[in-house]
Amino acid sequence: MPINSVKRGVQLGDHLFEDSILRSSILYGGNEHWSVDLPTVLSILERIAAGEADAREMRDELLRATKWDSGCCSDCDLAVSHFPKARHRHEESLRQWEEEQQLRDLANLPYVLNKGKIHTSSCRRPPRPAPPMFPEDLHTFAVLMEGYGGNLEQVFDHIADQASGGASQISSAEVTAMMARDGAAAVKSRLCGACKPRLPALDSTAPQGQPACWEWVLPSDIDAVATPGVTPATVNVLPHERNAYAKLERWHDGRCAVCGQSHAVSRLVRNHDHPSGLIRGLLCSSCNTAEGRTDSLLFNNYRHRPPSVILGIEVLYLPAGFQPGTHHLGVSAR
């Protein structure tokens, strides 16, 4: 049974109860029930007993206090100020969507992606891409806002996701990028069994199979890196390798070596080669997880020529909390 507590001043006659707490609850069947806190009730009774207020007037004032400003419910009261702005924003995004659709070259978008499945553009199974639909009334919008804690950005993300079940028309290059990242076998498992789309060709030199770090410019002063002191980033790096690791971090500049997306340095993961124990480069958590599970063109290219190879450095990957001199590398000496 939903309960809403509203703390607000209640004007009863010529007296303002500034700390009154009104509670509404929706009973089974949709009926709304109101209650007021005991101190307010006692104050009302005392004023009536003293002849300072009329009981019927107090009753009418209480009934007026329980009327929602929106005329509907507490959720609508909270959302009503956002509704016009949100509707205007949706109208702007709708115009933009229609302009983008007119500019799209459908001949170069032979696939439809829907809920992870890949179809041909002529397949009848998935819904056609359509603009997101805005809630028709204030109450529907209010319930949606309440479900996302009042976060308008998340509301619009939800609306966009619901458009045509999330169907989108995609190009051969986008499918090729999926194959390069996830592997051809994984992409084949996502093909629609009814329309049986054919996958584009993927060769070892496909641009989509090249990690982002291959395009990074190597600064002429990359070697001019002072040996850093012990920091949270270098505490588990051997002293004689800290200069090399500082060079690696400087070149990455917060970027993931595979996807190229920027992150806080502290959120990048030290990806390493397990047989040798040497760090390859810094990856975002998503790419690092995929690297350990995927034998695809993109990750094979990354393993063959990672940042450490490009920079010509070797830095041993040490367990978290390692302190030089404690002799707990976790590998047997050979």
Digit-coded pLDDT (tens) for 3-40:
555 555 566 666 666 667 777 666 555 567 777 888 88
pLDDT of 236 above 90: no
Q: Cβ distance 315 to 308 under 8 Å? A: yes
The reported pLDDT for the residue numbered 334 is 35
pLDDT of 152 above 60: yes
Share of the chain above pLDDT 70, in %: 82
Mean pLDDT of the chain: 83
Lowest mean pLDDT among 47-61, 223-237, 248-262, 266-280: 223-237
Arithmetic mean of pLDDT, 147-170: 81
pLDDT of 175 above 90: yes
pLDDT of 192 above 70: yes
Q: Kindly indicate the confidence band of residue 93, based on its pLDDT and cuts at 50, 70 and 90.
A: confident
Q: Is 163 left (phi over 0), alpha (psi -120 to 50) or beta?
A: beta
- Measured torsion, CA atoms of residues 84, 89, 94, 100, in degrees rounded to the nearest 10: 170
Share of the chain above pLDDT 90, in %: 39
Q: Kindly indicate the confidence band of residue 76, based on its pLDDT and cuts at 50, 70 and 90.
A: confident
Specify burial of residue 235 (Cβ count, 10 A radius: 0-12, 13-18, 19+): middle
Arithmetic mean of pLDDT, 189-211: 93
pLDDT of 224 above 70: no
The residue with greater pLDDT, 134 or 14, is 134
Q: 């056609």: which residue's tokens?
A: 128
